[in-house]
Chain A
Amino acid sequence: MASPSDANSSAGNTPENPETGSAAETAEVPERRGQVRLRRAAVMAVPATLAAAALGILTAQGALGVQFSISGMPFTVTAKSLDGTGFEQFGDLDNMIPNSPNAGDTGGQVLVMTSAIKSATLDSLCQSVDLGGINLLIKAGSGSTKVTASDLTTDSTELSGDASFGNIEIGNDASTLTKAGVQGKKGVFSQQSDTVHIDNLRQTNYATTAGVFKLPGLKLSFSDSGC
């Protein structure tokens, strides 16, 4: 009834032909079905790939790491000690999402101090977020294995502890920093050092990003008191 050549010649005007003769014949008839046209897909694939690559490169440079849409909820990080190699510190501005309820009279911007550490080891890390009366508490690294982080970048408003630096350079322009691979804005005060050691670290942060963050011995709990 419907030989392959017949179907071909009439293929232009019959869109689909589900009920064709016996099963054996249906298999031979070239089916008209939806299909991905590669050139059409490339119209989206090429710009999407470029955009993804741009995002990746910017993040690798640390340019996107500090541009988080922060919630404006400060969180506290404490640690018994922090050991790091490749340390940078400079001032910056963080932006909240538009019309954030936490903006208050700050205009949605928070002046922060960005600290970047190429690789860091933290002993007895504790992190707490105040969720309006109750604190979300995260503890890690209190055992024999410590918390390690690479390309750790924190935007903090307060930082305290007993610090010692190795080979420190103070007063560089923030855009010329080299030790941790992150650069700040031009004309901003900054400092950098080869190594850093901080005892009894206490930080109030607005954003933390890390390339790799390993939290051995993680413990998550709710508590009345923060760290």
Chain B
Amino acid sequence: MSDNLSRQGMRPAFRRWRAGRPFWGGLLLALGGAEILLTEKVSLKVAMHIGMQGMTGYLLPVLMVLLGLLILFSPSQRLFYSIVGVLCTLGSWLTSNLGGFFVGLLLGVVGSCLTFGWLPDQEPRSERRRRKREAKSATKTELQHQA
């Protein structure tokens, strides 16, 4: 009984929560935006972009963070968020220290793509593979019958 209780604790709940949304996609996109924001502060030391790019340098990474969080908390709109997210990420190359020196750009693109490719309520991979194999063998036997 105590075993049962511990299993109903935080971790299974988190697992269920995670299963219902493109968790890694949203997280990576938000992290990418945060990384770019971080390099913008350090950029005073590295690049002499002060006063040059005005707000856009900060606007795009802030949007990336927001879109990443929105993907996590409002997953039904994920297609729109991921498309805007990938555009913001690519735009940050021009405005924000080459997309936070590649790292934020990479995280953002990977996160957006994972979100775009995510579908809810899928059967496990092994299951799908098995079914595909079955379908293939089925058509093969059918062909043999026809021949």
Chain A interface residues (CB < 8 Å from chain B): 8, 11, 15-16, 18, 22-23, 30-45, 48-49, 51-52, 55-56, 59, 64, 67-71, 73, 75, 97, 127, 129, 131, 136, 138, 206-208, 210, 213, 215, 218, 220
Contacts and interface: CB of A to CB of B under 8 A. Distances in A.
Nearest to A56: B93
A56 B102 CA distance: 10
Contacts, number: 141
Given A34-B20, A52-B90, A55-B94, A210 B48 contact: yes
Interface of B: 3-4, 7, 16, 19-22, 24-25, 44-54, 56, 75, 82-83, 86, 89-90, 93-95, 98, 105, 109, 112-114, 116-127
Contact of A41 (B21, B52, B113): B113
B120 to A, nearest CB: 5
Contacts of B126: 30
Contacts of A36: 22, 24-25, 114, 117-119
Contacts of A207: 52
A59 B56 CA distance: 18
The SS class assigned to the A binding surface is mixed
Contacts of B4: 22-23
B118 A34 contact: yes
B127 A8 contact: yes
Contacts of B94: 55, 64, 67-69
Contacts of B25: 36
The SS class assigned to the B binding surface is helix
Given A23-B7, A52-B109, A210-B47, A35 B52 contact: no
A45 B113 contact: yes
Contacts of A30: 123-124, 126-127
A213 B47 contact: yes
Contact of A48 (B19, B113, B121): B113
Contact of B90 (A48, A131, A208): A48
Contacts of A127: 48, 50
Nearest to B44: A220
A69 B56 contact: yes
A44 B82 contact: yes
